[in-house]
Amino acid sequence: MLVCVSWIENGRMAERILIVDDESAARAALAVLLKREGFEVRNASDGVSALAECTSFRPDLVLLDILMPGIDGFEVCQRIKATPETRLTPVVLITGLSETGDRIRGINAGADDFLSKPIDYDELLARTRSLLKLKQYTDELENAEAVLISLALSIEARDPYTRGHCERLADMSIRLAGRIGASEEDIKALRRGGIVHDIGKVAVPDAILLKPGPLSRDEMDLMRKHPLVGERICEPLKTFRSVLPIIRHHHERFDGSGYPDGLHGADIPLTARILQLADVYDALTTDRPYRKADVSEIAFEIMENEATQGWWDRELLSAFREMIREGRGSPASPRA
Ligand SMILES: [Fe+2]
């Protein structure tokens, strides 16, 4: 059985619960109880229709019976948790009394909680409310992240020359990180960092951001504040903690001549060093207002010269060049 709930009462959205059970009497009993408590309820009688409801109804909670014809509850639960759009939807598995094996399989499938048959309705309501509260918090967190990502992409969209830059950057950075054996945490940070690293440009006016000629001293000073502004914007979000060093340090240089902190060499966080190589490469291989794009090999010649000047991490640059040469880099970049 799978249950999902939502409604509007007293000016707030009702939570949506999906009940999944092949026995119609069990579904009906749960639906009556949950509707009476103000939830919006839908039913599904098998695994396939449950998964379809998860996509269309977007339940806040799923009450899922294990034994069903076709796809069983474990499989449904696993698929819900493996789908990015539904992975945070709480799933309560309904098991037989003292079925320890079922519980272990359920935990492995990603179930959030269990209810034993026969169902104690007070227990059901208590667990439902507690899981829905948790879901509300994760929704708020996800919304905050989504706002930051949207803001970052809208800033990128202000400049027609950099459109798609963030996605390419994230893509190349993740692959370079994977190639050199960076940690999962670093790879996750680069996925977000690729998108939001320039979010601080929200404070830079279009007249400066899109200026085709060289920037004046004052304009340059303002532009150079974007890593610190970006860090401040993302700081309140705990899930962005590992992204902050990327945002703050993506304009540092290996010889200490970068900004905002003038960090040297390995003091620059690895994730920031990875992102800046992808950033420079993408800038060189796409048209910009101030110059036409260079082809990949010319871009690398320029970057090698800059590494000789002391700007970039040589070892990392070699790994990046190798990655691009092998044809596994920058697929979205027109000139790579
Ligand atoms: Fe930047």
> Does residue 268 have a pLDDT over 70?
yes
- Report the distance separating Cα 37 and Cα 14, nearest Å: 10
Q: Kindly give the distance from the C-alpha atom of residue 292 to the centroid of ligand 1, in angstroms, as a whole number.
A: 20
Model confidence pLDDT, tens digit, residues 39-70: 999 999 999 999 999 999 999 999 999 988 88
Percentage, residues of the chain above pLDDT 90 = 57
- For residues 336 and 170, the model is more confident at 170
Q: How many residues does the chain have?
A: 336
Contact between 322 and 176 under an 8 Å Cβ cutoff? The reply is no
> Does residue 161 have a pLDDT over 80?
no
3-state secondary structure the chain: CCEEECCCECCECCCEEEEECCCHHHHHHHHHHHHHCCCEEEEECCHHHHHHHHHHCCCCEEEEECCCCCCCHHHHHHHHHHCCCCCCCCEEEEECCCCHHHHHHHHHHCCCEEEECCCCHHHHHHHHHHHHHHHHHHHHHHHHHHHHHHHHHHHHHHCHHHCCHHHHHHHHHHHHHHHCCCCHHHHHHHHHHHHHCCHHHHHCCHHHHCCCCCCCHHHHHHHCCHHHHHHHHHCCCHHHHHHHHHHHHCCCCCECCCCCCCCEHHHCCHHHHHHHHHHHHHHHCCCECCECCCCHHHHHHHHHHHHHCCCCCHHHHHHHHHHHHCCCCCCCCCCC
Six-digit token pair at 10?
Answer: 């007293």
Q: Kindly give the distance from the C-alpha atom of residue 323 to the centroid of ligand 1, in angstroms, as a whole number.
A: 23
* Cis? peptide before 118, omega within 30° of 0: yes
Region 299-321: mean pLDDT is: 95
Q: Kindly give the distance from the C-alpha atom of residue 331 to the centroid of ligand 1, in angstroms, as a whole number.
A: 22
Model confidence at 336, pLDDT cuts 50, 70, 90, reads very low
Q: Kindly give the distance from the C-alpha atom of residue 226 to the centroid of ligand 1, in angstroms, as a whole number.
A: 7
Q: Kindly give the distance from the C-alpha atom of residue 187 to the centroid of ligand 1, in angstroms, as a whole number.
A: 19
Q: Kindly give the distance from the C-alpha atom of residue 206 to the centroid of ligand 1, in angstroms, as a whole number.
A: 15
Residue type, 191: R
**Mean pLDDT score across all residues of the chain:** 87
Q: Kindly give the distance from the C-alpha atom of residue 243 to the centroid of ligand 1, in angstroms, as a whole number.
A: 14
Residue type, 78: Q
The pairing of beta strand 61-65 with beta strand 16-20 = parallel
Q: Kindly give the distance from the C-alpha atom of residue 152 to the centroid of ligand 1, in angstroms, as a whole number.
A: 12
According to the model, what pLDDT value does residue 101 have?
81
Q: Kindly give the distance from the C-alpha atom of residue 160 to the centroid of ligand 1, in angstroms, as a whole number.
A: 16
Q: Kindly give the distance from the C-alpha atom of residue 227 to the centroid of ligand 1, in angstroms, as a whole number.
A: 6
> Does residue 152 have a pLDDT over 90?
no
Provide the residues around ligand 1 (an ion) whose CB is within 5 A. Answer: 198
- For residues 47 and 5, the model is more confident at 47
According to the model, what pLDDT value does residue 98 have?
61
- Report the distance separating Cα 146 and Cα 171, nearest Å: 18
Q: Kindly give the distance from the C-alpha atom of residue 186 to the centroid of ligand 1, in angstroms, as a whole number.
A: 19
Q: Kindly give the distance from the C-alpha atom of residue 39 to the centroid of ligand 1, in angstroms, as a whole number.
A: 46
- 44 DSSP β-pair partners: 20
Q: Kindly give the distance from the C-alpha atom of residue 92 to the centroid of ligand 1, in angstroms, as a whole number.
A: 44
Cα distance from N-terminal residue to C-terminal residue, the chain:
51
- Report the distance separating Cα 25 and Cα 16, nearest Å: 20
According to the model, what pLDDT value does residue 6 have?
41
Q: Kindly give the distance from the C-alpha atom of residue 100 to the centroid of ligand 1, in angstroms, as a whole number.
A: 53
Model confidence pLDDT, tens digit, residues 119-150: 888 989 998 998 998 888 888 777 888 888 88
- 43 DSSP β-pair partners: 19
Model confidence pLDDT, tens digit, residues 220-234: 999 999 999 999 999
